[in-house]
Amino acid sequence: MKVRELIQQARIDRIEAEILLADVLEVERAWLFAHGEDPVAEPALTLFIDHAKARLTGEPLAYVLGYRDFRSLRLGVNRHVLIPRRETEHLVEWAIERIDAGSRRVLDLGTGSGAIALACKSERPHAMLTAIDCSAEALACAEANARSLDMQVEWLESHWFEQLGGAQWDLVVSNPPYISASDAHLKQGDLPAEPDSALIGGQTGLESIEHIVEHAPEYLVSGGWLLFEHGFDQADAVTECMQDRGFQQITSRRDWSSQPRMTGGQWPH
């Protein structure tokens, strides 16, 4: 079958079909436009048909491809990790500002594919990154990403702070699970395929954030910062929670779609 026909007959979004076909042919998407009449040979043909079928049955594009681009990095992803999101790129920007202001030891809580830790490390190589996740499979994915990018991050299997002993950090950054268990969004888009443990923050959505806020002060140096990503409607609740715990200089920031998506504050001197 020809390139053009394959794309037309794939029964998935045309751009996604182009992305999948370019991927199996190992060409740029632009190549397809000049080669619409070229025949697609095996094994690319079968691979493309399998990938298009998987997409048609709801498998997220990133899992079908096996990667997602995040800031300057191409990160391997699979069903054990949350697919890195654009929102989280803004959290990395904030973390980098803190690193530039002097934070050196940085802890990424619930690292998943390693997105936040690896992006910080790649953009600020002098920072010392530790990243934890409670899922051994997620850590395996993060470590594989670190190996293929040749970056040094300390990876630890831990439920939040449990395995961290007496160490302290200048900056703790996290994109924890923050969706309510009863939120209808969980049934939409890519979310049904993603790990619940990366998405669901208990009935309220805030349980993981509350746990982290409660315990973070033991693991922060005085003057250290705690930064979160959270739901578009959680900024007030997260602010209040951090205030009650004694954090100062609490501010929220907006993401690319103008949603107040991140909140952070400083543990006092």
Single out the residue of 63, 67, 161, 178 in contact with ligand GLN (rule: CB under 6 A): 178
- Cα separation, 6 vs 205, in Å, equals 42
Nearest to residue 175, comparing CAs of 210, 147, 191, 199?
199
Interface with ligand GLN, residue 87, by CB under 6 A: yes
Least Å from the CB of residue 7 to ligand GLN: 28
Interface with ligand GLN, residue 179, by CB under 6 A: yes
The neighbour count for residue 269, using CB atoms within 10 Å, is: 8
Of the ranges 39-47, 80-88, 90-98, 148-156, which one interacts with ligand GLN (CB under 6 A)?
80-88
- Cα separation, 6 vs 25, in Å, equals 13
Of the ranges 4-12, 31-39, 175-183, 243-251, which one interacts with ligand GLN (CB under 6 A)?
175-183
Considering the complex, state which of residue 18 and residue 87 has its C-beta at the smaller distance from ligand GLN. 87
Interface with ligand GLN, residue 85, by CB under 6 A: yes
Q: Residue 103 contacts by C-beta under 8 Å, 6 or more apart in sequence?
A: 127, 170, 171, 224, 225
Q: Which two tokens stand for residue 189?
A: 């888009």
**Contacts with ligand GLN, 120-159, as mask; x by CB under 6 A:** ----------------------------------------
Interface with ligand GLN, residue 51, by CB under 6 A: no
Least Å from the CB of residue 89 to ligand GLN: 12
Least Å from the CB of residue 224 to ligand GLN: 22
Q: Report CA-CA distances (Å) from 123 to 97, 132, 152.
A: 11, 20, 13
- Cα separation, 134 vs 137, in Å, equals 9
**Contacts with ligand GLN, 196-235, as mask; x by CB under 6 A:** ---x------------------------------------
> Mind giving me the DSSP string for 14-40?
HHHHHHHHHHHHTS-HHHHHH-TTSBP
Of the ranges 65-73, 82-90, 122-130, 215-223, which one interacts with ligand GLN (CB under 6 A)?
82-90
Assess contact for 260 and 252: CB atoms under 8 A: yes
Of the ranges 13-21, 48-56, 127-135, 170-178, which one interacts with ligand GLN (CB under 6 A)?
170-178
Of the ranges 14-22, 125-133, 153-161, 177-185, which one interacts with ligand GLN (CB under 6 A)?
177-185
> Across-strand partners of 169?
220
Interface with ligand GLN, residue 177, by CB under 6 A: yes
User: Euclidean distance between the first and final Cα of the chain, in Å?
Assistant: 67
- Cα separation, 116 vs 122, in Å, equals 10
Q: What residue ranges bind ligand GLN (CB under 6 A)? A: 82, 85, 87, 175, 177-179, 191, 199
